[in-house]
Structure 1
Amino acid sequence: MNLRYDGGVMHDLSEGLTGIWGRPFIDLTPYLDLGLLASLDDEICYALAQVTTTYTGGSHKAMGIVPPSLAEDPYVDYGQVIRGFDEREFATFVSLGDPAARFDPKRRQDYEFGEERDHPLTREQMRFLEFKYGVYFPWKVFYELMPGGYWGEKSTAQGKAFTREARLYFPRTLAFVQGLPFREIGRCTLLGLNANDHGTVHRDGEPEEQTAPDHFITVCPRGGKRLFLWDETRRVKTPVEGRAYWFNDFDYHGVEAGPGFRYSLRVDGVFEPGFLERLRQDHEAVSARVG
């Protein structure tokens, strides 16, 4: 393994992944008490059947976060669709949005819609884009137990809290989350994929701009999510195994299609220093010996 340590991040040059301490991902199963996952699965599935969920994803190409080798796949991107609207199409689209908003179709290229944009999509707009233009929204079940704001703010807990609805429908899940080794929690979400859908390959930032991997824990109460990391240099997938894990989300990653519904619980924040140090000692030392 060809390793380089730079700015607090261990780079695995032979794998084409930034990774964490020279590893593609960290299996957190040995570090967490996961004995209640079956109970959480019961609660989450029952609750998801009752709460209102939305879509996420669907504009990774327009956001410029897909690998070049997959940028021309046949799955339609809503950012590209909206940019191509004529005045009539644009007027129809915005009529399904916030009724208080005012848009000039002649200035349609001045507006930005969707995730991390000034004008989030309504569920009606998402469904219209899906039905009329064939836009592919990978995660058709998205639910925020603790809204995290913009992506760059997901690790800070300032002014954030679990929603009233989450406290009502997901009490065991919230108790589990609050027992995880975070000094603070800034975002907590459920992300689900329907049968036969795949999670499009993307990354959540530029590796050159990263000083250390963002802290988060993904938990799969039922297992079987089928997440993988994508090495764009070698065009190779690395499956991410375990019921709980941490990976560097500045690396390309996606989810394989599967025959049934799959979901995960993602919690972003800042790790407890002792927990982070234990992971560092266990994994950085092994990486150094291999190098």
Structure 2
Amino acid sequence: MSKLCGLWGRPYIDLSPLIDTSCFAELDREIVLGLCRVEPSYTGGSLKWMGVVAPWVHEDPYVDYGQVIGAFSREELRDFVALADDPSAFDLDRGGEYTFGDETDHPLSRAQMLYLKYRYGVYFPWKVCYHLLENDRWEDKHSGAGKDFSAEAKAVFPRTVEFLRGLPFVEIGRCVLFGLEANDHAPAHRDTEPGSALGVAQSISFAPRRGKRFYVCDREGEERTVVRAPIYWFNDMDYHGVEPDPFFRYSIRVDGVFEPAFVKRLQRLYRR
């Protein structure tokens, strides 16, 4: 544990003794049926460009769309923005001023994601990404102000939303389902730079179906811990990723602010 930021000297906190997971089989059935009725998106294809991956990930062969777009010629940019939801919003003479994709003012359209994959071989780790509760920016993922679960999420995933509402949060700022296709992996990355925040980001992740090998690791990748708990809290200042497996896997991450009583209970149980 010495090389990990962790939580109270642990690589992660198993929350299953505190949160009832007996409904997970029921949730899994609802979720997989619901995913057939909604339109998930892609995400994670610009982690290298965002500068959040582990050092060794920069050397792997997987293509990052931030780097691809940054090297576009005028003609390539023209073809790319023609696939935007509103191509008229872009001036080719100002191409260098635009940023595209996650956490920017110009999210990728579905057509642009497919084009980047087909034309340039861009790798999107999570090809099934669905926001049950949307956040505008990464910085507001812990604030629930003015937010609610989407009407579609409440209609298609009612039991799941009920479970999410019952989690020990004062407010929820983001709730996302992350799914990986067979044989895909999530590269090691971190969400928060160590030392950049006063405390550990409060979140709960859970996998209603077993089999997703989510791990946390140190900067060198030498100390790697696969999370075995069905529901857990981890320190997102640690590098984390998902190992490849020959089948679809998913989990749901909820970000927000824990109830004070829940924090005190965690401290009593796990603080060393």
**Cα distance in 2 for residues equivalent to 1:141 and 1:177:** 19
SS of 1:190 mapped into structure 2: strand
Counterpart residue type for residue 67 of structure 2: Q
How far does residue 100 in structure 1 lie from its aligned partner after superposition?
A: 5.5
Of the three residues 146, 152, 155, the one matched with 2:142 is 155
1:94 aligns with 2:78: no
Gaps of 5+ in 2: none
Over residues 23-67 of structure 1, what are the superposed CA-to-partner deviations in whole Å (9 max), with x where a residue is unaligned? 111011111011100000000000001111100101010000011
Of the three residues 231, 251, 259, the one matched with 1:244 is 231
Of the three residues 152, 174, 177, the one matched with 1:190 is 177
Identical residues among aligned pairs (%):
52
The residue aligned with 2:48 is 61
> Conserved in 1, the CA contact under 8 Å of 2:81 and 2:87?
no
Gaps of 5+ in 1: 1-11
SS of 2:17 mapped into structure 1: helix
Over residues 152-174 of structure 1, what are the superposed CA-to-partner deviations in whole Å (9 max), with x where a residue is unaligned? 10111001011111111000000
1:83 aligns with 2:70: yes
**Cα distance in 2 for residues equivalent to 1:221 and 1:280:** 26
**Cα distance in 2 for residues equivalent to 1:221 and 1:89:** 42
1:268 aligns with 2:255: yes
CA, structure 1 residues 280+40, in 2 after alignment: closer, same or farther (shift >3 Å)? same
Of the three residues 117, 124, 127, the one matched with 1:137 is 124
Over residues 82-116 of structure 1, what are the superposed CA-to-partner deviations in whole Å (9 max), with x where a residue is unaligned? 00100000000000002264222232111100111
> Conserved in 1, the CA contact under 8 Å of 2:189 and 2:240?
yes
SS of 2:129 mapped into structure 1: strand
SS of 2:117 mapped into structure 1: helix
**Cα distance in 1 for residues equivalent to 2:100 and 2:222:** 32
Counterpart residue type for residue 170 of structure 1: F
Counterparts of residues 1-291 of structure 1 (less than 5 Å): 14=2, 16-99=3-86, 101-233=88-220, 235-284=222-271, 287=272
SS of 1:31 mapped into structure 2: coil
Q: Report the TM-score, using the length of structure 1 for normalisation.
A: 0.91
**Cα distance in 1 for residues equivalent to 2:260 and 2:207:** 24
**Cα distance in 2 for residues equivalent to 1:115 and 1:237:** 27
> Conserved in 1, the CA contact under 8 Å of 2:143 and 2:172?
yes
Which is further off, 205-214 or 249-258?
A: 205-214
Counterpart residue type for residue 24 of structure 2: L
> Conserved in 1, the CA contact under 8 Å of 2:181 and 2:249?
yes
**Cα distance in 2 for residues equivalent to 1:146 and 1:27:** 24
Over residues 3-38 of structure 1, what are the superposed CA-to-partner deviations in whole Å (9 max), with x where a residue is unaligned? xxxxxxxxx5x2x21111121110111110111000
